Structures are given as structure tokens and as C-alpha cells.
Amino acid sequence: MVGQLEDMAMFVRIVDAGSITRAAEQLNVAKSAASRRLKDLETRLGTQLISRTTRKSNLTESGKHYYQRAKNILDEVDDLNEKASGAPTIIEGILKLTAPLSFGLMHLNEVIDEYANQHPELIFELDFSDRQVNLIEEGYELAIRIGELKDSSYQAKYLTPIRSVICASPDYLKKMGTPETVKDLEKHKLLQYSLSNYNNIQLTDRRGQTHSVVMRSSMKANNGDFLLDMAIKGKGIAFLPTFITYKTLAQGKLLPILQNYQLPLSSAYAVYPNNRFLSQRCRLFIDFIAERFGDDPYWDQLN
């Protein structure tokens, strides 16, 4: 069993490193020894895990499934050893994370920098994108997601509230007028986030009544930073999260409108696969993010 765990650990290291040569260098062992452990594992399993050619190596389908389960097992073994010994372990390995583009670039930089300084042996692999990454198929341990979570194959931990604002530039409002009611929006140009599945937005007035705004947009884009820039340039009224608008609102480049109405409150979550053991490096990072942002994130304290 010990030998099998060692072979399994070597296989995971080869995959994470990208090649047998790099894995051997990282572990300070001969390339032939690393290659032999991989071959022993494949022989024991009766299947090929890595397809090797003269130019490159790729995981087979069996290799992809085995890699995910092997990582879980090795993480569980590390966790068990740590709890049994009572001594803190070094946080190391690879934390493969995906997060929304604007949120990641604007608000995860300092968090990741501080966490990396605390755990210098940890390696981050980051994907900042608004696409819905399949964590299992693409080998991601963790995702930061904003909004409604529909995939039941994932678990989620709440991180922080995501509030939104209706806003426009002073020049646009001076030229087109400031809307006072939801109906007034029908006369205005609206800027829409195109990856949203909603064709209308629900606004709630102070009496608790809900009003629906049909998104007849003059401009659509799949990136909030672009819509922010267009709003500043006076191209229309934007519905944007405050984590994007907070600086421009504080600077007066954008002005909040229809403040008697409330936009739906959303949330940011840490998301990970249901059937995967959550490593200590990942658990601690999730707690670290939640502590840094909290229920009153710094970007909402400026407004």
C-alpha cells in the first residue's frame, strides 16, 4: 500500500509539473526513477494513464479520472497525518482557481498576494474569466462564482454580498435627464451585461412593490469594466455591481440614480466539486477570503 501511495504521488506530481523530467527535478530524483514509478502504477492498474509521444504527453481518459481521485486521496492522507500528529503542516501544492475576470483582477490581487506571502511553498494557477469553467473536467480545485448557483454537482460556501447600483455619468444625465421612476427608464439608453440570462431586472420600491425593467439595451458586452467605461463616457445607464463602480462613484464620475428602488442582492461563493475532498490549502484560502471581505466589503464602505 505504501508503494502504491508513492506511485500515486509521483503520478500526480508528473501531471502537475507537466512532464516526467520536471517532476523528477522538483523531487530531486532521477528521471528514470520517476518514469519507473509511473510505469509500475500503470502496470498495477492495467491501464495507461499518460499517453507519451516524442513531443508531448497527455492524460488518457482513465488518467483524467484517476488524477482527480488520486489528488483527493493524497490530500486526505495529508490531512489525517496532520490531525494525528497535532503539528501544523506546511501549506503547499497547487491551488488551481478560477474567478470572474473583473472581480478577480480588482479584488483578489491583494488577497492572493497576502495568502501567498503566508504560504511561500504554495503554487497558484489562476484563470480569470467570466466563462463557466467545468471544475472537474478542467481540473480546478476551486471557483469563485457570483450569483445564483444551479449546478447540484458543486458545493458552495458564502463569501460576501454583491450589491448593485443603477448609475450614469453626470454628462449623460445633464443631456438626457435624470429618471425619477422605473417607467422613465423606457426613454433612456441602457447598457447590459450580455452573459446575464435575464432580459429584465426586478426593482423593489420602498413600499416593497416589485417593478420589472425590460432590458432594451443600446449596448451589450460580456465584461463589466467595458460597460463601466461606456457609462463614464456617457453612452447610457448601467446596472453594475458596486465592486466595479465603487471608485468611480466615490470620484463622482458616475452618479447613482433611482435610489428609492433596490436592485436584487446577490452573493459571491467559493464553489468546489461535491465529491472532492477539500484540501487544507483550499479550506484555509476560502476562510481567508471570507474574513477579508465579510458582510460589509470595503468597496461598499466608500459609498
Domain boundary among 85, 120, 141: 85
Backbone angles phi, psi at 270, to 5 degrees: -95, 125
Cell numbers for 131, please give them.
Answer: 466563462
Residues 227 and 256 in one domain: yes
Residues 255 and 172 in one domain: yes
Residue 6 parent element (H or E): helix 2-17
Residues 221 and 74 in one domain: no
Q: How far apart are CA 224 and CA 213, in angstroms?
A: 19
Report the CATH number that the domain containing residue 257 is assigned in CATH.
Answer: 3.40.190.290
Number of domains the chain contains: 3
Paired residues of 57 in beta bridges: 52
Residues 281 and 258 in one domain: no
Antiparallel, parallel or unpaired: β 255-256 and 164-168:
antiparallel
Residues 107 and 128 in one domain: yes
Query: What is the structure's pLDDT at 228?
Result: 95
Residues 249 and 105 in one domain: no
Report pLDDT digits (tens) over 74-127.
Answer: 777 766 666 665 555 667 778 889 999 999 999 999 999 999 999 998 889 899
More confident residue, 159 or 75: 159
Residues 201 and 245 in one domain: yes
Residues 254 and 183 in one domain: yes
Name residue, grid cell 512532464: 19
Query: What is the structure's pLDDT at 278?
Result: 73
Residues 64 and 100 in one domain: no
Identify the three-state secondary structure at position 186: helix
Paired residues of 164 in beta bridges: 241
Q: Considering Cα of 7, then 9, then 10, then 14, what sign does the dihedral take?
A: positive
Residues 10 and 154 in one domain: no
More confident residue, 77 or 45: 45
| For range 279-284, the mean pLDDT | 84
Residue 220 parent element (H or E): strand 217-221
Residues 184 and 146 in one domain: no
Report the CATH number that the domain containing residue 280 is assigned in CATH.
Answer: 3.40.190.10
Q: Evaluate whether 7 touches 73 at the Cβ level (below 8 Å).
A: no
More confident residue, 5 or 137: 5
Question: In the predicted model, is pLDDT for residue 229 greater than 90?
Answer: yes
Report the CATH number that the domain containing residue 45 is assigned in CATH.
Answer: 1.10.10.10
Range of the domain at 234: 164-264
Backbone angles phi, psi at 104, to 5 degrees: -65, -50
Residue 45 parent element (H or E): helix 31-45
Q: How far apart are CA 277 and CA 279, in angstroms?
A: 6
Residues 177 and 259 in one domain: yes
Query: What is the structure's pLDDT at 198?
Result: 60
Backbone angles phi, psi at 296, to 5 degrees: -130, 75
Q: How far apart are CA 51 and CA 61, in angstroms?
A: 10
The alpha-carbon radius of gyration of the chain (Å, integer) is 24
Cell numbers for 191, please give them.
Answer: 447598457
For the question of whether the overall pTM of this predicted structure is more than 0.75, the answer is no
